[in-house]
Structure 1
């Protein structure tokens, strides 16, 4: 009878475990190729990137450029990682442009294997999901942040711990020592809870580090993953050297998480009596302080594999993508390129050779979106070897932008002054000896017409030197005449019918010849006299401009 009951219990638990495993497998298979259904806290996601020394990278994308190109939205689209470690690693990878053809080739080999070998991919994803708790965001602090140092009177903690042990033993021989033990316990109680403020900083990160190291050990058994870092076992073993001490913090976290009140209470009395928390905490931190490089090696190994699964998932969900050709040439050639953040985006093709690109067109016609599309595809092409186009070829480029300028009221800087500083930095970068991609939208629109056109012409001419590529949009038709020798002219246009405005978002050669701004005022029921006066003024201005232009040519 009892055996039957035990058998039934075991069978029930095994079925529950089997069903959970089956559901997890199903979820992982179905989610591959789809967007993540998750929240994104960029304060935590950026943590690893913000504290990492990327000074050796070819370029670190600035906050300004990321804001201009809606980088956070791009990251939400690209991120298909299964761990917080992978998520932080992917963010850093996208913000830092590095050149390593050998690494790119290995990445593609692993991506192909993960895409085709479903069993391998799911087994890796299951392990990575053990690092999806928010506490895993703090693993990077163990090798990036300064650790707490023990207080100068730390010797007193050791003496009090020893005093507790001696008093406890002597209690069995002389009851008077129980009073001594009680007195020492009261002092230890105060010190124990003083240390809680120190412990709280590590009670999440240290247990997650243990998980990370175990996961790295399992992943390293794969012959393909071994190629990412053949020397990784050295780092894994060194971290394992502190494993027993770190396991104490895992127990602490588990008891807190599962509200095991009785066990927690007994454990807390034991820790208080012998001051185990401060002794172990500062001991572990001292050991970890000498293993920062090893922790980062393990972090990057696991994060890199998670990133490659994310790239494989991204490509699985795309109708059109390509692996870019990055060469030593001087052309940007894009066929059927699209903006990754625009649903059902109209594609365009372009070849940027010796001349850069000057775009004209009305608002909402697609100029800025096209400029962003080129910038985003160059970035994703270099960082994750993936472009949202049928084909794309370009040289290794640094990307800079002046698209979304705003007043900086906190520092008393106007819109125009902010733009002046941004473009000044571009002029400086244009002479750095590298090939640069400069993206500008409606340059100097915050100032008067005469000085805007004069300054824009001078600056845009200067930027074209030294093999730089520029994509710039403008409403100033005068610039199209002034820069025709240095820039290829393209435009976007719209159609205005009775009461409708239509956009085809297709890139067209040449400058814009039609204007519809006043017609749009009329469609939107502006007063008739306002519209008529605007038309007359426009005719007079056209005559003046035509006369000056004709005189200049003569």
Structure 2
């Protein structure tokens, strides 16, 4: 699996080197041609000759051709370099160095979220950091939103599964879209202001008469003044100057308002270029999955092509950019009321395409999000698309593993959590917490239509809520223990009103004494022991294992083996309760003498 990306990376590296060599050669030729142009220009200046002039013209044309070709090579060279880096990132995802990726999505961390902080959904060493290849603002938001709020609809999940399967088999398309969006990533802006403007029905003027008057006024001003100059009539010239002053006042009257409107699209130059390239690529692509067809249909349907719309907006942006300089801005607005003319063009465009803009931009974001989920299929050979089933809450999986752990290091487990609660015991570092996260993170992937790290998996639609990484709130005066109580109270409250829920609680109530901890844990399990509420609780308190006498509660454990020198873990979950502890052994390994035996 890794070899595929190594070969592609090497292919693009060789292409980059070849283009770099060609680029440098053309640079030297351009310099040589420029020197000849200057030399021949000097010759023509001192001793004009037809031959010299003909050569000069030929060299100027040659230089222009070289400039265009040089630019083309520069773009191809940049593309080769970016695609080399893209394949390098796939290799990093496979060998484990993906944890060095800069974009961790840390700004989306929310410790109050039902599960994201506990399951490593966003932030450092997260599923977002591993899979994310979105580069547009909207794509990033959609991908994160999917991770944090999966749409638990069986039909939609299956539609996404088909789309992700198809995209995972179109690696060249996937990488081309990533290249297009990545090359301008630093210059891409949030399109929210454009979307709001496009969806608004507010125009600068409601009156068509006033709008037409402002459109015609520059023609009137220029006509009167030119006629006055030609006729040498001071009376006409004074009238012309008077009308010109009125025109300047009209410009100044709405100058700041107009500038604000124009800035809406002016700063989206690179967005428009990026959208246009992606749309052109998607237009040519034939999809078989219904979800991808649906997204494409929103972009190229009902006689309103998104490509034509973006092209038109890009042209308007270029017209707006003509007045970007201070002097040009002054002259164009004084003579032509340029800002008004640009806004009238924008309003015409908005009235024609406005209600579609959001769906087009979001369509690109949806594609990016689906592509991100498809990455897992290309970096992990142990992937299956789960089956969504009806009935009692359950998760049944064979060889399920944690997607953030390398395949070579990962230990897979089987699970059959069928309308039950698991009490999981075991010594420190034996794999209890990792197992909880394995189940949780694969559920998040499953509900997004993505593949999961398993041989097989079937599950019902479940709300996920966890209590694992509980932190204190010093400003709010809340200790870690009390913060955990509040978190677990939230889980219990949810269970009161929610069917089909899974809870994952790690090391319950470790912040208090053993008597209170056991009593508290028993009551938590008692409150959660309700039909269709399933979950897992890890603990060191073997006394909780006695609860397996109750209906729906089962014991499982992870074990370790100590040979006097090392502690070995197999990270395999087993039925029953733990019969060993390793705190003493860990202290021995760390060099702490056991001076009190009991």
Shared fold (TM-score, shorter chain, > 0.5): yes
Map of 1:444 onto structure 2: 509
SS at 2:429 equivalent: coil
Could you say if the C-alpha distance between residues 14 and 113 of structure 1 is closer, same or farther in structure 2, counting changes exceeding 3 Å? Answer: farther
Pick one of 60, 75, 79 that aligns with 1:24: 79
Q: How does 1:265-344 map onto structure 2 within 5 Å?
A: 265-267=327-329, 269-271=331-333, 274-277=336-339, 280-281=342-343, 284=346, 288=350, 293-329=355-391, 330-343=393-406, 344=409
TM superposition shift of 1:474: 1.3
SS at 1:66 equivalent: coil
CA distance in 1: counterparts of 2:353 and 2:171, whole angstroms? 35
CA distance in 2: counterparts of 1:104 and 1:25, whole angstroms? 35
Does structure 2 retain, via aligned residues, the 8 Å contact 1:235–1:295? no
SS at 1:137 equivalent: coil
Could you say if the C-alpha distance between residues 242 and 512 of structure 1 is closer, same or farther in structure 2, counting changes exceeding 3 Å? Answer: closer
SS at 2:505 equivalent: strand
Q: Deviations over 1:157-207 (max 9, x none)?
A: 978887666444433324434476368547745853565455545433477
Counterpart check, 1:249 vs 2:326: no
TM superposition shift of 1:30: 7.2
CA distance in 2: counterparts of 1:163 and 1:15, whole angstroms? 45
Map of 2:113 onto structure 1: 63
Map of 2:582 onto structure 1: 516
Counterpart check, 1:372 vs 2:441: no
Map of 2:452 onto structure 1: 387
Q: How does 1:438-517 map onto structure 2 within 5 Å?
A: 438-485=503-550, 486-496=552-562, 498=564, 500-517=566-583
Does structure 2 retain, via aligned residues, the 8 Å contact 1:356–1:469? yes
CA distance in 2: counterparts of 1:164 and 1:411, whole angstroms? 64
CA distance in 1: counterparts of 2:78 and 2:214, whole angstroms? 52
Does structure 1 retain, via aligned residues, the 8 Å contact 2:504–2:536? yes
Q: Deviations over 1:351-382 (max 9, x none)?
A: 22243211122333321111011000011012
CA distance in 1: counterparts of 2:464 and 2:577, whole angstroms? 25
CA distance in 2: counterparts of 1:417 and 1:322, whole angstroms? 40
TM superposition shift of 1:214: 6.7
TM superposition shift of 1:473: 0.9
**Structure 1, unpaired ranges of 5+:** 51-60, 537-554
Could you say if the C-alpha distance between residues 245 and 80 of structure 1 is closer, same or farther in structure 2, counting changes exceeding 3 Å? Answer: closer
Counterpart check, 1:90 vs 2:143: yes
TM superposition shift of 1:29: 7.2
TM superposition shift of 1:317: 1.5
CA distance in 1: counterparts of 2:300 and 2:142, whole angstroms? 20
Does structure 2 retain, via aligned residues, the 8 Å contact 1:406–1:418? yes
Map of 1:546 onto structure 2: none
TM superposition shift of 1:395: 1.6
Moved more, 404-413 or 242-251: 242-251
Q: How does 1:44-83 map onto structure 2 within 5 Å?
A: 63-72=113-122, 73-81=126-134, 83=136
Could you say if the C-alpha distance between residues 111 and 401 of structure 1 is closer, same or farther in structure 2, counting changes exceeding 3 Å? Answer: closer
Moved more, 280-289 or 464-473: 280-289
- Indicate the RMSD between aligned Cα atoms, in angstroms: 4.4
Map of 2:50 onto structure 1: none
Could you say if the C-alpha distance between residues 162 and 9 of structure 1 is closer, same or farther in structure 2, counting changes exceeding 3 Å? Answer: closer
Could you say if the C-alpha distance between residues 480 and 411 of structure 1 is closer, same or farther in structure 2, counting changes exceeding 3 Å? Answer: same
CA distance in 1: counterparts of 2:429 and 2:322, whole angstroms? 54
Pick one of 189, 203, 216 that aligns with 2:279: 216
Could you say if the C-alpha distance between residues 302 and 71 of structure 1 is closer, same or farther in structure 2, counting changes exceeding 3 Å? Answer: same
Could you say if the C-alpha distance between residues 465 and 384 of structure 1 is closer, same or farther in structure 2, counting changes exceeding 3 Å? Answer: same
TM superposition shift of 1:131: 6.7
Could you say if the C-alpha distance between residues 423 and 269 of structure 1 is closer, same or farther in structure 2, counting changes exceeding 3 Å? Answer: farther
Does structure 2 retain, via aligned residues, the 8 Å contact 1:164–1:185? no
Q: Deviations over 1:186-245 (max 9, x none)?
A: 774585356545554543347735753674365234342544453543477286569646
CA distance in 2: counterparts of 1:481 and 1:144, whole angstroms? 63
Moved more, 299-308 or 129-138: 129-138
TM (normalized to structure 1)? Answer: 0.76
Does structure 2 retain, via aligned residues, the 8 Å contact 1:84–1:136? yes
CA distance in 1: counterparts of 2:549 and 2:585, whole angstroms? 28
Pick one of 251, 256, 266 that aligns with 1:203: 266
Could you say if the C-alpha distance between residues 278 and 490 of structure 1 is closer, same or farther in structure 2, counting changes exceeding 3 Å? Answer: farther
Moved more, 178-187 or 363-372: 178-187
Counterpart check, 1:355 vs 2:420: yes
Counterpart check, 1:192 vs 2:289: no
Q: Deviations over 1:317-363 (max 9, x none)?
A: 11321111222254322222222223423322222224321112233
How many residues matched?
A: 513
CA distance in 1: counterparts of 2:352 and 2:474, whole angstroms? 45
Map of 1:401 onto structure 2: 466
CA distance in 2: counterparts of 1:336 and 1:98, whole angstroms? 26
TM superposition shift of 1:470: 0.5
TM (normalized to structure 2)? Answer: 0.71
